[in-house]
Amino acid sequence: MLRLDQASLANLAPDIQKPVYDRAGIRPGIVHIGIGAFHRGHMAVYIDDVLEKDPNWAIIGASIRRPDTRDALAPQDYLYSVSAKSGEGISTRVVGSIVDIIDASASTRALIARMAEPRIRIVSLTVTEKGYCHDPANGHLSTQHPDIVNDAIHPDAPRSVPGIIVAAAALRRAGGYGGLTVLSCDNLQGNGKIAKTTVLEFARLRDASLAEWIEANFSFPSTMVDRIVPAISDGDKQDVEQRLGLADAWPVVTEPFSQWVIEDHFAAGRPDLTAVGAQLVPDVEPFELMKLRMLNGSHSTMAYLGQLAGHRFVSDAVADETLKALVSTLMTHEVIPTLDVQDIDLFAYRDALLRRFANPALRHQLAQIAVDGSQKLPQRTVTPIRERLAHGKSIELLCLTLAGWIAYLARHVRQEGTEPADAMAARLSDAVQGEGSAGELVRKALSITEIFGDDMVNNEPVVQTVERHLACLQDEGVGAAIHKALARIDA
């Protein structure tokens, strides 16, 4: 079958949306690090719409871990399809906003050189929580991280994201090219603040004057990004191929919904993002907390307890009335009270999330969401626990999520003999090894200060609540643990 590329666009069916601008006339203004499916289904689509009116914001993508995206898309002239699926049907478009992809897995020099070009004004990131090389418990740079240790010794050949940004900043300063906007699009509370903190702290390790220059010339706006983009299956690829009538080696499948809220603080100009549906606001934090705690927090709850209950996909988990009741009640009683978002009905947002979770067409794998829980749970679950405790409020269901995570880790290590897919896999495996009691398991897990700080393991209400849930999960199963937890809320 003919491959999707620039020449084959003319063969697309009329119902397939394709770029209406001249791709030969667009120019890169953005370098994006972490060119995975989420970026290609979210930000790259917004920029595709921007390019219809402004040709100066095309994207140069970069992968710093492996070359697979570059290898798949280079023969397609970096074109790919995005299919939005729901129970009502499917719509497909071809996206043309990416004009090059750099494989920086072996060397980051070419990437740094492109970031230092005067025409580049935004460096955006989807590198996951662990890509910032920070301590999730406090948001600061982890100076013992292997990549940071390497970059401190070899600052001109960095491996970490902070090291790469600082190296590019040094070239820009030397060339007199001015600053950049570093635009984090990862699911981190205060993602812009974490990006700024880690970049400046690494810059100070290298050159204090460079750190001062970055602080004066760069901006680090926070963002809230929202679109569910599950891992793609072979069946998805076959469906896309049938719709396109062309072979697409690296398609994206997602949901119709998309949201992008951005702090309006750009150091070197920006495209007209409001014209393509993004929201520019003075303060992203309320939106960010809403999404992190309600959507992402619910995802984590379903990922661990749902897999323990035998479910594979999010839609299966929310079709389980017991799990659905848990997620709905968790949002209602323990999450929404921690939020203050003006002009948004949080209960309507809760109901909309439950409908999105139930989308049968997405096939969003719980195992995909469960990856790197050590990096995700501090923002999604642990911080809300602290806030609830400070106000003397219930932490029953939030603690059930932690118990589910510990039980999930223990199943991996004790029953299956495998390490969890996590940036801290070795530490987590050590914590759940052996035949200890539920209480011993909980105390060992909560003693990992990089995740929980030093307060959780010393807080008896937290320890006892998580222990009670974990013992019930081990002895009676997921259904019983949820029913007992919900009964305490009702009481």
Please say whether the beta carbons of 78 and 44 come within 8 A: no
> In the predicted model, what is the mean pLDDT of residues 40-51?
98
Provide CATH code, domain 7-281: 3.40.50.720
CB burial readout 6-20, b (16+ within 10 A) else e: eebbeebeeebebbe
Residue-wise pLDDT for 269-308, tens only, equals 999 999 999 999 999 999 999 999 999 999 999 999 999 9
Cβ burial of 193 (10 Å; 0-12, 13-18, 19+) is middle
Q: Which two tokens stand for residue 172?
A: 């820009």
* Angle, alpha carbons 363-364-370 (nearest 5°): 145
Query: What's residue 189's pLDDT?
Result: 87
Extended strands (E) in 4-130: 28-33, 58-63, 80-86, 89-95, 98-103, 122-125
**Angle of the 396-410 helix axis to the 438-446 helix axis, nearest 10:** 100
Q: Helix or strand or coil: residue 19? A: coil
Please tell me the distance from the alpha carbon of residue 408 to that of residue 373, in angstroms, as a whole number.
11
pLDDT at 435 over 90: no
CATH class of 286-490: mainly alpha
Query: What's residue 415's pLDDT?
Result: 85
Percentage of residues in the chain with pLDDT exceeding 70?
100
> Which residues make Cβ contacts (< 8 Å) with residue 258, sequence separation at least 6?
42, 45, 226, 227, 277
Please say whether the beta carbons of 489 and 333 come within 8 A: yes
- The chain-wide mean pLDDT, for the chain, equals 95
pLDDT at 434 over 80: no
> Contacts from 446-450 at CB under 8 Å and sequence distance 24+?
448/374, 448/424, 449/137, 450/135, 450/136, 450/137, 450/142, 450/374, 450/424
pLDDT at 102 over 90: yes
Q: Residue 138 — pLDDT band, cuts 50, 70, 90? A: confident
Residue-wise pLDDT for 62-80, tens only, equals 999 999 999 999 999 999 9
pTM of the model: 0.89
Which residues face 103 on adjacent strands?
Answer: 63
Query: What's residue 491's pLDDT?
Result: 59
Residue-wise pLDDT for 103-119, tens only, equals 999 899 999 999 999 99
Which residues face 122 on adjacent strands?
Answer: 30, 181
pLDDT at 94 over 80: yes
**CA dihedral defined by 214, 138, 406, 321, rounded to 10 degrees?**
-80
Residue-range domain boundaries for the chain: 7-281, 286-490
CB-facing half-sphere around the CA of 381: CA atoms within 13 A: 32
Residue-wise pLDDT for 361-397, tens only, equals 889 999 999 999 999 999 999 999 999 999 999 999 9
Tell me the CA end-to-end span of the chain in Å, nearest whole number. Answer: 62
Residue-wise pLDDT for 317-353, tens only, equals 999 999 999 999 999 999 999 999 888 999 999 999 9
Which residues face 58 on adjacent strands?
Answer: 28
